[in-house]
Structure 1
Amino acid sequence: MTDYRLYLLTWLALLALLACAVAATHWLAGWLAWTTVALCALAMASLVIILFMGLRHANALLRVFGVGGVLWLGFLVVLTLADYLTR
Structure 2
Amino acid sequence: MAHHNHEHNDANVLHPHITPMSTYLKVGGALFGLTFLTVIAHQFHHQMGAFAAVVAFAIALVKAILVLLYFMHLKDDTNINRLIFASGFFFLAVLLFFSALDIWTRVVEISPL
TM-score (ref. length: structure 1): 0.69
Divergent runs of 4+, >4 A: none
May I ask how many residue pairs the two structures share in their alignment? 86
Gaps in structure 2 of 5+ consecutive residues: 1-19, 107-113
What is the identity percentage for the equivalent residue pairs of Structure 1 and Structure 2?
24
Gaps in structure 1 of 5+ consecutive residues: none
Partner Cα separation in structure 2 for residue 43 and residue 16 of structure 1: 13
- CA offset at residue 17 of structure 1? 4.8
AA of the residue aligned to 1:12: F
* Higher-Rg member (1/2): 2
Q: For residue 57 of structure 1, what is the aligned residue in structure 2?
A: 76
RMSD: 2.5
**CA displacement, residues 23-72 of structure 1 (integer Å, 9 cap, x when unaligned):** 45343223x23322232322222222222211011111111111111222
Q: For residue 48 of structure 1, what is the aligned residue in structure 2?
A: 67
| CA 13–40 in structure 1, closer or farther in 2 if over 3 Å, else same | same
Q: For residue 19 of structure 1, what is the aligned residue in structure 2?
A: 39
- Does the CA-based 8 Å contact 1:50-1:56 persist in structure 2? yes
- Does the CA-based 8 Å contact 2:42-2:52 persist in structure 1? no
The DSSP-based 3-state class of the residue aligned with 2:39 is helix
